Homo-oligomer: A and B are copies of this chain.
């Protein structure tokens, strides 16, 4: 079977992969947006985890066949399945689900595979289920899917650039994929691929600061997160039920939760009547989010009336080894590339966003200014 894809053209799907795709667990990913509420800012950003899962599978195959020279079946299944544990709006619901259930989306991914037909399909195919589940348990050494130059990231940068219309994430994938190799069982980059790796990691940073962390998107996400948190705390929604929902099912549930603050917040998000920024900038090294929240409280705002969120990108870019044509280690990319060294510093920065209804912005701004 072939599936038409705006990024990869035709994605060839083998019979086992087709059986996996046909399960309700995979079909559900059609209803989980890749970029949660980014569509409120970038109107084309309606792309889903489903197409990204297919794309990640394709990149896994490209990398294994083209560059890494390894048997690929299990890895392409990992690429296909890597997002299966997500709740509605992916990372947005994850903390609330994790707090209630005690598992993150990768651990829940393992659970979803084990408890569904998917594990049977894999076992029937003669592949090693354990080898696949190792990815979800974090015990898989090869970082082809999840690494700093992994298939997940390669696919989403290209895909999100297309749908948002923001060109920063256009990476030179054709070129990069010929420059990746395995070194001691992990994805490494050839010297001739340093520009490709630099370019991709910087592209990701630009996508983060311009798209993924666009202030209006962060505010919308925090508003909806607050609604989710309240709904879970007050047991208006059972966490396990929430985990199984699609994006829209959650929006509908929240709007019918019976809790006024939850319903109001959700309606504001859906109709894009978002909080306005009272603060958007650096946060002092010793300042905690709790202090910011207390300051808001002193300004007379109830916890449900504002959002305060600290963004820290963090960095796993120290992960990448550069090797020469003969397969010898040249060094870490952070040592070899001054850009990536700088990127590490930039990624370590913290940014605080505080927002509330327009009518309270002035007093919240004054209160926050005193503590940051």
B-contacting residues of A (Cβ < 8 Å)? 2-7, 9-10, 22, 24, 27, 30-31, 39-44, 46-48, 50-51, 54, 162-168, 170-172, 174-175, 178, 195, 198-199, 202, 206, 209-210, 246-249, 251-252, 270-273, 338-339, 341-343, 345-346
Contacts and interface: CB of A to CB of B under 8 A. Distances in A.
Contact of A210 (B39, B167, B195, B345): B195
A221 to B, nearest CB: 16
B195 A206 contact: yes
A167 B170 contact: yes
A339 B42 CA distance: 26
A43 B3 CA distance: 8
A249 B40 CA distance: 19
Which of A10, A166, A174, A209 counts the most B-chain CB atoms under 10 A from its CB?
Answer: A174
B165 A339 contact: no
Contact of A167 (B40, B171, B209, B271): B171
Given A6-B44, A44-B51, 18 more contacts: A2-B178, A4-B44, A4-B175, A5-B44, A5-B165, A7-B165, A22-B272, A27-B272, A31-B270, A39-B48, A43-B50, A44-B47, A46-B46, A46-B47, A166-B172, A167-B170, A246-B248, A249-B252
Nearest to A167: B172
A4 B43 contact: yes
Which of A54, A165, A249 counts the most B-chain CB atoms under 10 A from its CB?
Answer: A165
B271 A27 contact: yes
A257 to B, nearest CB: 15
A365 B31 CA distance: 34
A42 B166 contact: no
A350 to B, nearest CB: 15
A50 B272 CA distance: 13
Which of A202, A342, A343 counts the most B-chain CB atoms under 10 A from its CB?
Answer: A342
A177 to B, nearest CB: 9
A267 to B, nearest CB: 9
Contacts of A246: 248
Contacts of A341: 342
8 contacts: A4-B41, A10-B178, A27-B271, A43-B54, A167-B170, A167-B175, A195-B210, A199-B206
A165 B163 CA distance: 12
Given A43-B51, A342-B339, A346-B339, A175 B166 contact: yes
Contacts of A22: 272-273
Contacts of A5: 43-44, 165
Contacts of A9: 165, 174-175
A272 B27 CA distance: 7
A18 to B, nearest CB: 11
A343 B168 CA distance: 18
A174 B10 contact: yes
B206 A271 contact: no
Nearest to A171: B167
Shortest Cβ-Cβ A-B pairs, 4 listed: A248-B248, A9-B174, A6-B165, A46-B46
